[in-house]
């Protein structure tokens, strides 16, 4: 049974000493819909968020997020052109814990609503570049994952092998992906600080400026392309092109293959959706993933003999990428 806003407000006052809540109202449900949340307004006009996980996955996500937020010191945050939540306090409740954060202002970003010529698209690219130019030492010092290109490549191959073992992935796609993993220049990159779980839902904006970024539970040192693949789901191509251009300009990056790897990761999201369906024994999810895989074959059939290499960049249909990323976010 869901807790009332008044109950959540009472929990918040237990979590944060001196918090004087004047009003509490409903606020979202978290990335996967498994948090009880409330927006709190204190008598001095400040706003806070309280979140109570309602599943083991949500609890693990919240715990990882707290570790990352603590790693993001004041000095590190000062390098970012947007706000990041601050942990305020916590209190135990029903075998888990309620956590209070200060409120980050802004409206959720809707990729489909970004018009051509909008400054929000390049600003998204610059915001991601700001993450990737952070010093790596604070991530390692916090004991968070630090992955090398070789380890990232091995994990990519593992996903492909697991998907192949289902015998449901078209051979043409497996060949395409295998050629990409064998393309040495594609994997010659310098790992950076990455958020690791970015999507349009991660960002808050106001007047085409990125004002905040939520969800840091996957903070690590890894492949910057992991933070970029979701941009390929935007309709029309403008958002991805403008964001990637601004990203590359901001980073001054020598990683010329970042967009190629982003495309590979986008395609492999379908394989992950398939694996999720087989793990959950969901015929509906498996059938959906298989349909998407065959749709992907149709989309790139003229390029299957070339691969996703550093010399070629076959482009999936925008609608196909968007549907794929939408399904992954719902998983």
The full set of domain ranges for the chain reads 5-103, 108-330
Q: How many CB atoms lie within 10 A of CB 219?
A: 26
Nearest CA to 322 out of 232, 226, 229 is that of 232
Angle at the Cα of 320 from the Cα atoms of 246 and 153, rounded to 5 degrees: 65
Q: What is the DSSP string of 295-328?
A: HHHHHHGGGTTT-S-TT------HHHHHHHHHHH
* Residues 90 and 8 sit within 8 Å (Cβ to Cβ): no
Q: Looking at the domain covering 5-103, what would its CATH class be?
A: alpha beta
Instruction: Give the dihedral of Cα atoms 248, 251, 256, 258; nearest 10 deg.
Output: -80
Cβ neighbours for 30, distance < 8 A, ≥ 6 positions apart: 37, 51, 53, 58
Segment 128-155 mean pLDDT: 97
pLDDT at 184 over 90: yes
pLDDT at 325 over 90: no
pLDDT band per the 50, 70, 90 thresholds, residue 313:
very low
* CATH number among 2.30.110.10, 3.90.1200.10, 3.40.309.10, 3.30.70.1060, domain 108-330: 3.90.1200.10
Q: Which residues pair with 87 in a beta bridge?
A: 101
> Given the DSSP bridges, would you call strands 47-53 and 96-102 parallel, antiparallel or unpaired?
antiparallel
Query: What's the Cα-to-Cα distance from 283 to each of 30, 170, 244, 297, rounded to whole Å?
Result: 26, 18, 37, 21
pLDDT band per the 50, 70, 90 thresholds, residue 178:
very high
Alpha helices in 72-170 (DSSP H): 74-77, 120-132, 137-141, 149-165
pLDDT at 47 over 70: yes
Domains 5-103 and 108-330 share a fold: no
pTM (2 d.p.): 0.88
| Distance of alpha carbon 141 from alpha carbon 114, whole angstroms | 38
| Distance of alpha carbon 298 from alpha carbon 304, whole angstroms | 10
The structure tokens listed for 269 are 């999201």
**Would you state the pLDDT for residue 123?**
98
Segment 122-139 mean pLDDT: 98
pLDDT at 320 over 60: no
Angle at the Cα of 16 from the Cα atoms of 84 and 99, rounded to 5 degrees: 55
């Amino acid at each position: 049974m869901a807790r009332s806003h008044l109950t959540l407000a009472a929990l918040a006052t237990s979590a944060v000493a001196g918090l004087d809540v004047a009003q509490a109202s409903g606020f979202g449900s978290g990335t996967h819909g498994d948090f009880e949340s409330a927006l709190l307004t204190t008598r001095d006009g400040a706003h806070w968020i309280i979140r109570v996980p309602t599943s083991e996955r949500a609890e693990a996500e919240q715990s990882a997020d707290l570790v990352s937020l603590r790693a993001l010191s004041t000095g590190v945050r000062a390098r970012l052109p947007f706000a990041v939540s601050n942990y305020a306090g916590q209190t135990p409740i029903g075998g888990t814990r309620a956590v209070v954060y200060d409120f980050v202002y802004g409206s959720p970003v809707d990729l489909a609503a970004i018009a051509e010529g909008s400054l929000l698209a390049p600003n998204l690219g610059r915001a991601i570049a700001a993450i990737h130019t952070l010093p790596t030492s604070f991530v390692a010092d916090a004991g968070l994952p630090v992955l090398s290109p070789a380890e990232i490549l091995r994990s990519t191959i593992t996903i492909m092998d697991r998907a192949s073992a289902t015998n449901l992935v078209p051979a043409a796609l497996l060949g395409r992906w295998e050629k990409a993993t064998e393309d040495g220049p594609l994997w010659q990159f310098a790992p950076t600080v990455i958020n690791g779980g970015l999507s349009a839902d991660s960002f808050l904006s106001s007047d085409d400026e990125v004002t905040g970024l939520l969800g840091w539970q996957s903070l690590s040192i890894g492949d910057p392309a992991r933070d970029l693949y979701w941009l390929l789901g935007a309709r029309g191509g403008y958002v991805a092109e403008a964001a990637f251009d601004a990203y590359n300009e901001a980073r001054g990056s020598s990683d010329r293959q970042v967009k190629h790897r982003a495309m590979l990761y986008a395609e492999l999201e379908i394989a992950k959706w398939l694996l999720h369906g087989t793990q959950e024994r969901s015929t509906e999810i498996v059938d959906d993933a298989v349909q998407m895989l065959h749709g992907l074959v149709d989309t790139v059939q003229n390029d299957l003999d070339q691969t996703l290499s550093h010399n070629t960049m076959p482009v999936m249909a925008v609608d196909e990428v968007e549907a794929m990323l939408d399904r992954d976010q719902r998983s």
